[in-house]
Amino acid sequence: MGALCAVIAIISVVIPFAAGLALLGTVPTGLLAYRYRLRVLLAATVAAGMIAFLIAGMGGFMTVIHCVYIGGLTGFVKRKGRGTLTVIVLSLIAGVAFGAASVGALTVMTRLRHLIFEVLTANVNGVAAFLTRVHMQKAAVDLTRYFAWALHYWQWWMLVYYGLGVMVVSLIGWWALSRLLERMRGLPDVHKLDAWDGSKNEEAPVGPVPVRLDKVRFRYPGASQDALREVSLDLQVGEHVAVTGANGSGKTTLMLILAGRRPTSGTMERPGTVGLGKLGGTALVLQHPESQVLGTRVADDVVWGLPPGTETDVGRLLSEVGLEALAERDTGSLSGGELQRLALAAALAREPALLIADEVTTMVDQRGRDALLGVLSGLTKRHRTALVHITHYNNEADSAERRIDLSDSPDNTGMVETSAPPVPAVAVDYRQHAPVIELVGVGHEYGIGTPWAKTALRDINFVVEQGDGVLIHGGNGSGKSTLAWIMAGLTIPTAGACLMDGRPTHEQVGAVALSFQAARLQLMRSRVDLEVASAAGFSHRDTDRVAAALGVVGLDPTLAKRRIDQLSGGQMRRVVLAGLLACSPRALILDEPLAGLDAASQRGLLRLLEDLRRERGLTVVVISHDFAGLEDLCPRTLHLRNGALEPLSTTAGGRA
Amino acid sequence: MTASTDGATSRPSRPVVLLIPVPGRSAIHDLWAGTKLLVVFGVSVLLTFYPGWVTIGTAAALVFAALRIARIPRGVLPSIPRWLWIVLALGFFTAALSGGSPKISLAGLEIGLGGALNFLRITALSIVLLGLGAIVSWTTNVAEIGPALATLGRPLRILRIPVDEWAVGLALALRAFPMLIDEFQVLYAARRLRPKRIPKSRKARRRRRAMELIDLMAAAITVTLRRGDEMGDAITARGGTGQLSANPVRPKLADWVTIAITIAASGAAVALETILHSTY
């Protein structure tokens, strides 16, 4: 949160004409004050203030202080449930207090104060002299006199200025905060793990394995069905167990129970406490690579969070997962597979007795997946650790000694697959084989002229024709995303041009649809029908058009009233596609469309896209680091490496 | 179809790069982050209390020396927008018109330089302060700032101020900063891809803009909260907070030398100024 506030403060200082944004910096601090204790707000202030100071100097720091002061006030009032009147009164008092503090500070810093006043006086006198030149004597005299009088009573002026100023900004912040909370329907909380409560059984030793579950069931509070149906299993020391099952079968719930949550019924026996993150206890490796890695440098992340004074052989751990060459690198530049291996090394640094790997390969490309599995399969031989590997890929479970299959639970909300895509209401006539997107000598360099200049793309030339299916394949850092943004017109290339119908794409933003890798970021409204209508540009009350748009992507029209945060990953991706396709774009670019989906969802999505390409003549460009399953959709493949195209390799039926 | 190479503009403006050190090694890069923070803080306090020409000159000399030693190229400066030049020129012009001591005579005309000099002084002050912060940003690896703050704040622990918590918060914010910037860029780009509806009346336009702003904020905050919660889970999975860095860095000889030079220069500047009474 501190980072968000710092970002807004920095942007408001650095980018011109954005001074109004400083007002909005009060909203995140207001949210912090609303949701958490004062201590959290103080910590956020220090973090945000330091970042703002490093970037924009004293001015940025003062902006952050202002935001926190006012935002904290509005959030606090919101938490106590008071109304606008309280805000007005309190902000007036707070403003006057702040003004008094400023007055005190300026009184002490005499030299600075005199300098500032002299400069102000000089400016005013200069304006007065100018006015005298243009024969507006009276105005000049009045100006000088009023200014001198104001300067004489500068203390009072500052108090009034701050009092009123703080009040106005508080009211604006209050309005924004109220609208925001209403829109977000309170703050969503996706916290999953319970912190190890050290207050009770402080003396109990840590001992998660061997663990025995007997007829354990779990139901989330307020749910109508069990998330985890009755399961009985036992886990010995040093065993390698794989847990498989489709989405929704309760694998994550099992992980939570093994990590310490109390089941709704059934018994669990273990020799000691769970000891999450403690030496010899339980360690977790979760699904999202970037959020798990907390240190900024690779070597620092391995020891992050260990009790001070613990000796760790960082080099040995890094070489075990294959990252010893990267010990001094920044974690921001690592790929997904490398991040997951780093998280594994950090987990192993605690010498856990039980290691749970929850779907660790889902967000990782093929090469990273192989490396990860290589480390995991030999783990139990090298350490005295019991490994529970949760996955929905069947081939990964083969290396385990034992396999537990959680069958489908009734809670699984499946996707409705229509047997045949509906015929579009208006037949659009595309000319066959006309070029849609042309890239001519496109090159892009970030930060030209600065010492951080980086060439992302070099001399890219190709043509995408109507009804074509192209796969742009490249590894981490090859420039694929930059290419996708240039083709959609969101970035102007520094060399060459990307043309559509002879005009550059950056003048026709929106003609080419782009589906981002994180579908979550593209969904802006709170409900499916609102989202589709807003993406396509018609009113959400037009239920026929909404239903038609949902039907194109194979979603049931009853899904229209569902809230976005209740959708699964595959459903979210389809809603994004529904909105994009309802605009009838010339081409559709998909950035890593299969990331994070399980096998069944991937197949369904690919089938949908193939049907769309065949029936409607839609031009599809897929950007991915995998080949699997995309041969039917994309008969043409382009390889991108380090920003340059390698010689084309075509599969059967492709064009040279 | 013919291709018109209209793509690139004549001279692309340099972007603002935040919190990434200039690549390369130098004596300044190797200094402990805590030393740099202390120097910046000390000089800022000095300039606040003694904003005279002598102190500004001394601080500027320190800044330039550091820039030379760190071999920072000119390309790090972002392009200054035109409106800023206009505002500065206007301020200078009005200040110059006001005259005031000291006066010099030039070709029979008496020109009062007082106002202009004062304006220049304030501008120089702001630039030097910005430069100080920029040096830290350009020569420090972000990973070192959190542990440096923890070490610097150790004496404050006696007053029961949770310095460790603040250092952890700062380190996490610095880690999350680039990720959040990327996500905000995607959010903004996704908005640009949507068709724009121009509503009829001005009131509807204002209301639409307000709603859009709220939507954007809600999306940004939801994204941030989700990241925050995921990081919270990661912290819980590691058993809470604790060590921040694998190889704790201690101040070396170069650091003490730097601090000594700074204190000496500042002391001399203050003394000189008090003696000269050049400003009051």
Taking the C-alpha atoms of residue A286 and residue A42, their distance in angstroms, rounded to an integer, is 30
> How does residue A193 score in pLDDT terms, banded at 50, 70 and 90?
low
Query: In the structure encoding, which two tokens stand for residue A452, read together?
Result: 């951080």
Determine whether A26 is exposed, middle or buried from the number of CB atoms within 10 Å of its CB (0-12, 13-18, 19+): buried
- In angstroms, the separation between the Cα of residue B31 and the nearest Cα of chain A is 16
Mean pLDDT of A344-351: 88
Percentage of chain A beyond pLDDT 70 is 86
For residue B9, what pLDDT is reported? 41
Identify whether B102 is preceded by a cis peptide bond (ω within 30 of 0). yes
Run of H or E residues at A355? strand A354-358
Contact list in A for residue B217 (CB cut-off 8 A) is: 24, 27, 176, 180
For residue B5, what pLDDT is reported? 36
Higher pLDDT, A297 or A565: A297
Hey, are the CB atoms on B190 and A516 less than 8 Å from each other?
Answer: yes
- Answer for the pair A71, A173: CB distance below 8 angstroms, yes or no: yes
Locate the chain A residue with the closest alpha carbon to B91.
A123
Q: What is the pLDDT of residues B20-43, one digit of tens each?
A: 777 777 777 778 888 888 888 888
Among A20-34, A394-408, B53-67, the minimum mean pLDDT is found in A20-34
Smallest Cβ distance to B18: which of A55, A114, A510? A55
3-state secondary structure of A402: strand
Q: Which of A293, A294, A274, A280 is nearest to A349 (CA)?
A: A280
Task: Give the amino acid at B101.
Answer: S
For residue B18, what pLDDT is reported? 66
Locate the chain B residue with the closest alpha carbon to A1.
B224
Q: What is the pLDDT of residues A96-152, one digit of tens each?
A: 888 888 888 888 887 778 877 887 787 777 778 778 888 778 877 888 888 888 888
Task: Give the amino acid at B13.
Answer: S
Percentage of chain B beyond pLDDT 90 is 0
According to the 3-state scheme, what is the secondary structure of A591-649? ECCCCCCCHHHHHHHHHHHHHHHHHHCCEEEEEECCCCCCCCCCCEEEEEECCEECCCE
Is the minimum CB–CB distance between A521 and chain B shorter than 8 Å? yes
For residue A260, what pLDDT is reported? 79
For residue A430, what pLDDT is reported? 46
Task: Give the amino acid at A537.
Answer: G
Mean pLDDT of B179-200: 78
Contact list in B for residue A283 (CB cut-off 8 A) is: 237
Hey, are the CB atoms on B115 and A123 less than 8 Å from each other?
Answer: yes
Is the minimum CB–CB distance between A258 and chain B shorter than 8 Å? no
> How does residue A508 score in pLDDT terms, banded at 50, 70 and 90?
confident
Higher pLDDT, B180 or A462: A462
Taking the C-alpha atoms of residue A281 and residue A354, their distance in angstroms, rounded to an integer, is 6
Position B197 pLDDT exceeds 70: no
Q: Specify which residues B235 forms β-bridges with.
A: none
Q: What is the pLDDT of residues A230-268, one digit of tens each?
A: 888 888 888 888 888 776 677 878 888 888 788 888 888
Position A220 pLDDT exceeds 80: no
Suggest the residue from B197, B217, B231, B280 to mutate for an interface test with chain A (most A CBs closer than 10 A): B217
- Answer for the pair B40, B148: CB distance below 8 angstroms, yes or no: no
Let me know if A351 is a catalytic residue: no
Cα-Cα-Cα-Cα torsion A572, A578, A583, A585, nearest 10 degrees, comes to 90
CA dihedral over A288, A291, A295, A296, signed as positive or negative = positive
Taking the C-alpha atoms of residue B122 and residue A112, their distance in angstroms, rounded to an integer, is 9
Position A155 pLDDT exceeds 50: yes
The residue behind tokens 């004050």 is A33
- Answer for the pair A145, B186: CB distance below 8 angstroms, yes or no: no
Query: In the structure encoding, which two tokens stand for residue A399, read together?
Result: 């290396």
Hey, are the CB atoms on A304 and B20 less than 8 Å from each other?
Answer: no
Higher pLDDT, A3 or A630: A630
Hey, are the CB atoms on A452 and B17 less than 8 Å from each other?
Answer: yes
For residue B199, what pLDDT is reported? 62
Higher pLDDT, A143 or B248: A143
According to the 3-state scheme, what is the secondary structure of A569-592? HHHHHHHHHHHHHCCCCCEEEEEC
Query: In the structure encoding, which two tokens stand for residue B136, read together?
Result: 């830290």
DSSP code for A470: E
Position A194 pLDDT exceeds 70: no
> How does residue B2 score in pLDDT terms, banded at 50, 70 and 90?
very low
> How does residue A412 score in pLDDT terms, banded at 50, 70 and 90?
very low
Q: What is the pLDDT of residues A510-531, one digit of tens each?
A: 888 899 888 888 887 778 888 8
Locate the chain A residue with the closest alpha carbon to B114.
A122
Locate the chain A residue with the closest alpha carbon to B186.
A521
For residue A13, what pLDDT is reported? 35
Hey, are the CB atoms on B242 and A306 less than 8 Å from each other?
Answer: yes
Where do the DSSP E strands lie in A165-246?
A: 211-218, 228-235, 240-244
Mean pLDDT of A376-386: 83
> How does residue A648 score in pLDDT terms, banded at 50, 70 and 90?
low
Percentage of chain A beyond pLDDT 90 is 1
For residue B109, what pLDDT is reported? 65
For residue A248, what pLDDT is reported? 66
Position B240 pLDDT exceeds 80: no
Residues 6+ positions from A609 with CB-CB distance below 8 Å: A590, A593, A620, A633
CA-based diameter of chain A, in Å? 97
> What is the rounded average pLDDT for all residues in chain B?
77
* Residue among A239, A338, A359, A396 flagged as catalytic: A359
> How does residue A286 score in pLDDT terms, banded at 50, 70 and 90?
confident
According to the 3-state scheme, what is the secondary structure of chain B? CCCCCCCCCCCCCCCCCCCCCCCCCCHHHHCCHHHHHHHHHHHHHHHHHCCCHHHHHHHHHHHHHHHHHCCCCHHHCCCCCHHHHHHHHHHHHHHHHCCCCCEEEECCEEEECHHHHHHHHHHHHHHHHHHHHHHHHHHCCHHHHHHHHHHHCHHHHHHCCCHHHHHHHHHHHHHHHHHHHHHHHHHHHHHHCCCCCCCCCHHHHHHHHHHHHHHHHHHHHHHHHHHHHHHHHHHHHCCCCCCCCCCCCCCCHHHHHHHHHHHHHHHHHHHHHHHHCCCC
For residue B184, what pLDDT is reported? 81
Locate the chain B residue with the closest alpha carbon to A28.
B221
Q: What is the DSSP string of A472-537?
A: EEE-TTSSHHHHHHHHHTSS--SEEEEEETTEEGGGSTTSEEEE-S-HHHH--SSBHHHHHHHHHT
Hey, are the CB atoms on B175 and A51 less than 8 Å from each other?
Answer: no
| A429-438, B12-21, B38-47: range with highest mean pLDDT | B38-47
For residue A423, what pLDDT is reported? 39
Run of H or E residues at A458? strand A454-465
> How does residue A427 score in pLDDT terms, banded at 50, 70 and 90?
very low
Q: Which of A258, A285, A244, A290 is nearest to A598 (CA)?
A: A244
Taking the C-alpha atoms of residue A446 and residue B223, their distance in angstroms, rounded to an integer, is 26
CA angle B184, A8, A456 (to 5 degrees): 40
Position B279 pLDDT exceeds 70: no
Mean pLDDT of A324-328: 82
For residue B12, what pLDDT is reported? 59
DSSP code for A16: T
For residue B4, what pLDDT is reported? 34
3-state secondary structure of A357: strand
Mean pLDDT of A142-163: 83
Task: Give the amino acid at A22.
Answer: A
Taking the C-alpha atoms of residue A533 and residue B51, their distance in angstroms, rounded to an integer, is 58
> How does residue B101 score in pLDDT terms, banded at 50, 70 and 90?
low
For residue A628, what pLDDT is reported? 74
For residue B111, what pLDDT is reported? 67
Suggest the residue from A123, A181, A483 to mutate for an interface test with chain B (most B CBs closer than 10 A): A123
For residue A532, what pLDDT is reported? 86
CA dihedral over B66, B68, B69, B72, signed as positive or negative = positive
Higher pLDDT, A653 or B229: B229
CB atoms within 10 A of CB A313: 11
> How does residue B13 score in pLDDT terms, banded at 50, 70 and 90?
low
Mean pLDDT of A463-491: 85
Residues 6+ positions from A447 with CB-CB distance below 8 Å: A453, A454, B14, B15, B17
Return the axis-axis angle of helices A599-616 and A569-581, rounded to nearest 10°: 10
The residue behind tokens 């020129």 is B89
Among A240-244, A432-436, B11-15, B255-259, the minimum mean pLDDT is found in B11-15
Region of A528 (left: φ > 0; alpha: ψ -120 to 50; beta: rest) is alpha
Suggest the residue from B22, B30, B154, B222 to mutate for an interface test with chain A (most A CBs closer than 10 A): B222
